[in-house]
Amino acid sequence: MKRSAVSRLLPWLLVGLISIGSGLGFFTLWKGQGETRQRMEMELVQRRQESETFQAQVQAVTEKLGTVQSERADLEKKSVQLKSQLETVNTEVERTKTELAQAQDRYDRLSAKHAELESELTYLRAERDAAKQAAEHARTAQDDLERTVVRLRGRMELLDRDYKKLAGSLESLNQSTRPGLNVLADSTWGPLQTPAVLADSSSVTAGAAAPTQPAAVAAAGSIEPAVVELSSVRVTREQDDLRSAVSGQVVEVNAPHRFVIVNKGSDDGVEAGMVFNVLHDTVPVGQVRASRVRPGLTACDVVTAAAVQVGDVALQRSQ
């Protein structure tokens, strides 16, 4: 009885156990699916947030791309403008180079002209100084001649006064003697020479002595002739008929352009091409060659020189 009851209950027990197991399985499966669904929902929300963030980033990048493209277009326009400006600048640079070369050429010509003018100016200054010295010497000589003329005029006035006194004395003597007797024709004294009062200034300056002048003193019964002499004034001029070596002095030195000015010229026998030895305190310091000759000055090119100075002696080199 018991065994049959157990046999009858066993299937139901097995069914119950299977049902319980199935329920537990379904519960476990449902629970796992719920957790999975919840996890997937959370991942889905996260993916949506990431998608929204990515879309925002894409939109920002798109906006930036539009800005960059606009800036690129502006830069391309600026690049075209800069290329045009660069071509213009290159053209200006080439023109400036050409103008600079022309300006350099003009500068070189002006520098050469300046050097030539400076040489001419130095030469003219030296000539001016020599002319001033010559004028000063001429003025001094003129003053000396004027003083000499004044002295000669004073002496002529004194001589004229003595002559008038002598003429008056002779006239008185002729009136006091017997009629018909002419003292001037008296053979005892011989003919009395009439003085030449107004002497020629050219003869005086040439060294001619003034003529002898007589003076008379009236005495009772006698006539004693006296002689008044005018001291001679001689103005001599040295003349050198023999041509000797020309010797001058350096009055100007232009070291940068290598030329000097000598205070001798064509009036002193200097000729173009003539070579001078330059002496400093009797010590030779170089040689110069005459290039431009004026009446009183000569511009000389430096041939060889250690240190030519103003005041050095320039002596013509013997051939």
Residue 222 in any domain: the answer is yes
Residue 31 in any domain: the answer is no
Provide the CATH number for the domain around residue 279.
2.40.10.410
For residue 1, the model assigns a pLDDT of: 57
Give CA 147 to chain center in angstroms: 46
Residue 134 in any domain: the answer is no
Residue 176 in any domain: the answer is yes
Per-residue exposure over 149-177, b if at least 16 CB sit within 10 Å of its own CB, e if not: eeebeebbeebeebbeebeeebeeeeeee
| Torsion angles phi and psi, residue 272, rounded to 5 | -65, 135
Residue 26 in any domain: the answer is no
Higher-scoring residue by pLDDT: 239, 104: 104
Give CA 171 to chain center in angstroms: 81
In single-letter form, the type of residue at position 213 comes to Q
Average pLDDT over residues 228-238: 41
Instruction: Quick: pLDDT tens for 258-316.
Output: 889 999 999 999 999 999 999 998 899 999 999 999 999 999 999 987 788 999 999 99
Inter-residue contact 272 to 313 (CB < 8 Å): no
Q: Positive or negative, the Cα torsion across 193, 198, 202, 207? A: positive
Residue 221 in any domain: the answer is yes
Residue 306 in any domain: the answer is yes
Instruction: Quick: pLDDT tens for 164-209.
Output: 888 888 888 877 764 544 444 444 434 434 333 333 433 333 343 3
Average pLDDT over residues 139-157: 78
What are the beta bridge partners of residue 240? none
| Torsion angles phi and psi, residue 265, rounded to 5 | -140, -155
Tell me the pTM. 0.34
Residues 252 and 217 in one domain: no
Distance (Å, whole) CA 17 – CA 102: 120
Residue 169 in any domain: the answer is yes
Give CA 208 to chain center in angstroms: 57
Higher-scoring residue by pLDDT: 141, 225: 141
For residue 86, the model assigns a pLDDT of: 92
In single-letter form, the type of residue at position 188 comes to T
Residues 264 and 305 in one domain: yes
- Tally of domains in the chain: 2
Q: What does 198-245 look like in DSSP terms, one character per residue?
A: S--HHHHHTTPPPPPEEEEEEETTEEEEEEEPPPP---------S---
Residues 6+ apart with CB under 8 A from 269: 243, 246
Higher-scoring residue by pLDDT: 306, 66: 66
Average pLDDT over residues 150-164: 79
Range of the domain at 186: 153-228
Residues 6+ apart with CB under 8 A from 266: 293, 294, 295
Instruction: Quick: pLDDT tens for 17-59.
Output: 888 887 777 778 787 777 888 888 888 898 889 989 989 999 9
Using the 3D structure, point to which of 194, 228, 262 is the last residue of a domain: 228
Higher-scoring residue by pLDDT: 178, 96: 96
